[in-house]
């Protein structure tokens, strides 16, 4: 029967679905609140599929190991059938071994009175160390997603510290900003977020990011129209809309006294699921990726958010979108900030 092609061949001599092999997924900062919202989604099949077994590796710093034990107990108590094993550790050599996916959530948060430069310095140290561990212990095919801020520059630091892992395998999260932009448009038009597609976040995951809806479409009364045409409110789209998306993280902190966690975890799940299964036909998403070879005038060797499509776990830039003067200025501004961040980080990198 097997020779008729009913079963894929494997060295066991039995038909075996690829998906019966567990995917080994690391989440860092695993005792934190983003991870607390994320881990259940990974364990219940919403990210890697409903029949994909998972080995979940949880890394945090030594003082957090008590809390992490509590998270481990809760994951066990969820009795999730796809969760083949859960490993909680404070050791990089354990955490990074044989990984298929690394979701780097943990980073040094900005404390009151801290200069951005100090924040960069502390994080260069963390992401250099984790990049080195990826290089040493993970599979070369590992997909690395950086969430911890400053995410773009942390991602570039990790990639530079893991030279034998393709730099295309590294991406950083701007999907939260993308989802925020989608939802602001949907709220304004009284439709669901699902009816809005192809918004773009250009640049840095910071307040210089540029949420761009020049190419976005919305489904209204059964047909797709451009967002500018649907809204007929250019001054809102060029003003309040942009600043709302740029400042949304700060607004959540002000209201909750804590940073975004549920929405961040949902965005991570969206980002990783799209890497794994690809983007829907005719849709693109925003992702911080290496800028080499882009056609939008962004300097090479920056980790910059672009519109991408994904197929076979490989992303490609969306090409040929016309860029108006308003957009050009905003895209250049965020590229300038990223260039400065990179220069500062690399000074520290050589001495870290």
The answer to whether residue 205 is catalytic is yes
Helix, strand, or coil (residue 332): helix
CA-CA distance, 307 to 303, in Å (whole number)? Answer: 13
CA-CA distance, 170 to 244, in Å (whole number)? Answer: 28
Q: Is 191 annotated as a binding residue?
A: no
Q: Is 110 annotated as a binding residue?
A: yes
Is-cis flag, bond preceding 271, omega within 30? no
For 251, other C-beta atoms within 10 Å of its C-beta total 11
Give the chain's length: 352
Q: Is 19 annotated as a binding residue?
A: no
Tokens of 212: 């761009």
Q: Is 328 annotated as a binding residue?
A: no
Strands 210-212 and 217-220: unpaired
CA-CA distance, 301 to 292, in Å (whole number)? Answer: 6
DSSP at 42: H
Strands 217-220 and 223-226: antiparallel
Q: Is 147 annotated as a binding residue?
A: yes
Tokens of 253: 């902190």
Distances (CA, A) of 184 to 208, 212, 215, 243: 18, 12, 16, 11
Q: Is 60 annotated as a binding residue?
A: yes
Q: Is 180 annotated as a binding residue?
A: yes
Bridge partners, 86 (sequence order): 56
Query: Which helix (H) or strand (E) element contains residue 200?
Result: strand 200-202
Q: Is 308 annotated as a binding residue?
A: no
CA-CA distance, 40 to 46, in Å (whole number)? Answer: 9
**How many H-runs (helices) and E-runs (strands) does the chain carry?**
11, 14
Active-site option among 178, 205, 215, 271: 205
Tokens of 198: 């192809």
Contact 199, 178 (CB under 8 A): yes
For the annotated catalytic residues, the residue numbers are 205
| Binding site listing for substrate | 110, 116, 149, 180
| Binding site listing | 60, 110, 116, 123, 147-149, 180
| Binding site listing for NAD(+) | 60, 123, 147-149
């Amino acid at each position: 029967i097997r020779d008729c092609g009913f079963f894929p061949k494997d060295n066991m001599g039995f038909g075996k679905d690829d998906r019966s092999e567990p995917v080994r997924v690391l989440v860092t900062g695993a005792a934190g609140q983003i991870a607390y919202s994320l881990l259940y989604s990974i364990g219940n099949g919403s990210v890697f599929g409903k029949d994909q077994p998972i080995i979940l590796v949880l890394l945090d710093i030594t003082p957090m190991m008590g809390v992490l034990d509590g998270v481990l107990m809760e994951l066990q108590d969820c009795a999730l059938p796809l969760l083949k094993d859960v490993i909680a550790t404070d050791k990089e050599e354990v955490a990074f071994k044989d990984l298929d996916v690394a979701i780097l959530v943990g980073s040094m948060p900005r404390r009151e009175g801290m200069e951005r430069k100090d924040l960069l310095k502390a994080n260069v140290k963390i992401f250099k160390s984790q990049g080195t561990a990826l290089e040493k212990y993970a599979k070369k095919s590992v997909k690395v997603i950086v969430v911890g801020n400053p995410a773009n520059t942390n991602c570039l630091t990790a990639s530079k510290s893991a030279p034998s892992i393709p730099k295309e395998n590294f991406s950083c999260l701007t999907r939260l900003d993308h989802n925020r932009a989608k939802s602001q448009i949907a709220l304004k038009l009284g439709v669901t977020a699902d009816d809005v597609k192809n918004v773009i976040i250009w640049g840095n995951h910071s307040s210089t990011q540029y949420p761009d809806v020049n190419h976005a479409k919305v489904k209204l009364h059964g047909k797709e129209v451009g967002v500018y045409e649907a809204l007929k409110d250019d001054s809102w789209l060029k003003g309040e809309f942009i600043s709302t998306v740029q400042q949304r993280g700060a607004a959540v902190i002000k209201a909750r006294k804590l940073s975004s966690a549920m929405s961040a975890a949902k965005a991570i799940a969206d980002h990783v699921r799209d890497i794994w299964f690809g983007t829907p036909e005719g849709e693109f998403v925003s992702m911080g990726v290496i800028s080499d070879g882009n056609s939008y005038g962004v300097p090479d060797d920056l980790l910059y958010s672009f519109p991408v499509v994904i197929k076979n776990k490989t992303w490609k830039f969306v090409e040929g979108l016309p860029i108006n003067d308003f957009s050009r200025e905003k895209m250049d501004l965020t590229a300038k900030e990223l260039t400065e961040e990179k220069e500062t980080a690399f000074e520290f990198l050589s001495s870290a």
